Structures are given as C-alpha cells and as structure tokens.
C-alpha cells in the first residue's frame, strides 16, 4: 500500500507566456481516486502536465510525500513513482500489444501485471496495436504505465473515445487498482468520476473552483456552473 501522497500548493503554469493554471492547491488520496472535473479548456490536462513535469511550474510547489519535486525532470518523477497516461496515447500502432507493453516493462521485461489488470490484453498479445478498439488501446496505455510500479498514476480521460459498454469495465479495473495506488483521474464521464472518486476537484478557468467528497460536490450548485459550456 502506498503512503506517498502527491500534493500541489499554489501551483501555476502554462504554455510559454500564456498562463493557464492559477494558484492550484491539490492533495491526493493515498491510495484512492482523486477526480479532476471541469469544462473543456478548464486546465485539467495542463495540471497533469505540470504535475509530471512536461510543463514547468511557474509558481508554487509539487511534493511527493515531504519532498519537493517541482524542479525534477519528468524522467526523475517517473523514477520517484509517478506515472502518466496522456489523452493522446503514445501507442505504437505498428507494434504488437506485447511489444507496446514491453516498452513500459523496463529491465525486468515482465508484462504480467498489465495482463493481470486487463486480462483481455493477454488474449491480444500478438495483435497489432493499430487494430485494437479505443478501449483496448486505453488498456494498453494504462497497463504499460503501471509496469513502472507507480505509487501515483495520472490518467487523462481514460474513457475518451471508448464504447460505453467498456467504460464500466475500465472503471472496475481502475477501482481495483486504486486499492493499492493513488490515481488522479481527469474524466468527462461524471457518473464514472463520482463512482470512483474519494475526493473531487472542480476546475474553472485554471483555478480550483471548489473541492470535496463526491456527495458534497454533486449537490453543490457551483458544479453545474463550472461544467456548463
């Protein structure tokens, strides 16, 4: 079980001179699911990119446990125990499922943990990844990410482009995974986010508008305001 919490304090960041995030405070459940909601363009993906170090923080701090990791490279954050699955999946279409998974396996070469989480991948190991369904591609990306044995997993819209019948399946697997590690979940499917999350942050124009446990957030009139286009 993980005891390493990821937290952000007063976090700002963006693209070049364009500031997108303003003074974001966030602290993740360990283990468990912390969902981040907000309308398109609210800054959810940008937040994950700053947390993993793909974009620099221009203010504030990111901590893993008590250690500030704000200035660490993405590679060192991954080594420290954070994994990231971006929205646009880095899946190599020409490679088999097995070879795509092996990219995440490091020196051990073992892909068993990914297959234990998503047994369907075990049946598709020799398939070309480009021929997989949207849901299966998401499974490959998540399965590969957990092979680095992360304590914290950042997931950007794992159900985007996934057939509704498979959304629950992915949700069930994430719920299992969240018994062991912390997941920060950016998600457009509200039902799934409310089902999985221990805590929810609602973002609006680069700020955290409010946060709370799912019951509180669902009945907060600010939710509709923050999610309406």
**Binding-site ranges for ligand ATP (CB under 6 A):** 15, 18, 20, 38, 40-46
- Nearer of residues 115 and 141 to ligand ATP, judged by Cβ: 141
Contact status, residue 61 vs residue 68, Cβ threshold 8 Å: yes
The minimum distance between CB 187 and ligand ATP, in angstroms, equals 10
- Backbone CA torsion sign across 163, 196, 218, 9: negative
- Nearer of residues 15 and 163 to ligand ATP, judged by Cβ: 15
Strands 207-212, 32-37: pairing is unpaired
CA 44 – CA 48 distance, rounded (Å): 7
- Nearer of residues 40 and 228 to ligand ATP, judged by Cβ: 40
The candidate with the shortest Cα–Cα distance to 224, out of 53, 11, 37, is 37
The minimum distance between CB 149 and ligand ATP, in angstroms, equals 27
Token digits of residue 228: 């309406």
The minimum distance between CB 87 and ligand ATP, in angstroms, equals 6
The minimum distance between CB 105 and ligand ATP, in angstroms, equals 29
CA 44 – CA 176 distance, rounded (Å): 24
- Nearer of residues 42 and 142 to ligand ATP, judged by Cβ: 42
How far CA 189 is from CA of 32, 38, 130, 135, in Å, comes to 18, 11, 25, 14
- Nearer of residues 165 and 229 to ligand ATP, judged by Cβ: 229
Strands 6-15, 18-27: pairing is antiparallel
The minimum distance between CB 16 and ligand ATP, in angstroms, equals 7
- Nearer of residues 42 and 162 to ligand ATP, judged by Cβ: 42
For 150, phi then psi, to 5°, come to -75, 155
The minimum distance between CB 84 and ligand ATP, in angstroms, equals 14
DSSP assignments along 85-133, one per residue = E-SS----TTSBHHHHHHHTTGGG---HHHHHH-HHHHHTTTSBGGGS-
């Amino acid at each position: 079980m993980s005891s390493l919490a990821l937290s952000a304090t007063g976090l700002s960041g963006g693209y070049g001179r364009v500031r997108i995030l303003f003074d974001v405070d966030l602290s993740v459940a360990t283990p468990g699911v912390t969902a981040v909601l907000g309308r398109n363009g609210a800054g959810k993906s940008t937040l994950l990119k700053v947390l993993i170090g793909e974009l620099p923080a221009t203010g504030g701090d990111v901590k893993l446990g008590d250690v500030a990791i704000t200035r660490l490279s993405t590679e060192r954050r991954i080594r420290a125990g954070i994994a990231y699955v971006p929205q646009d999946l880095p899946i190599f279409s020409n490679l088999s499922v097995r070879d795509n998974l092996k990219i995440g396996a490091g020196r051990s070469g073992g892909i068993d943990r990914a297959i234990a989480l998503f047994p369907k991948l075990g049946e598709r190991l020799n398939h070309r990844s480009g021929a997989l369904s949207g849901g299966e591609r998401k499974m490959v990306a998540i399965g590969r990410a957990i092979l680095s044995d992360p304590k914290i997993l950042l997931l950007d819209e794992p159900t985007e482009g996934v057939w509704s019948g498979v959304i629950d399946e992915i949700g069930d697997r994430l719920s299992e995974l969240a018994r062991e590690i912390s997941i920060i979940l950016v998600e457009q499917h509200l039902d799934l986010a409310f089902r999985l999350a221990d805590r929810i942050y609602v973002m609006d124009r680069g700020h955290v508008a409010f946060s709370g446990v799912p019951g509180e957030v669902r009945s907060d009139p600010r939710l509709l305001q923050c999610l309406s286009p």
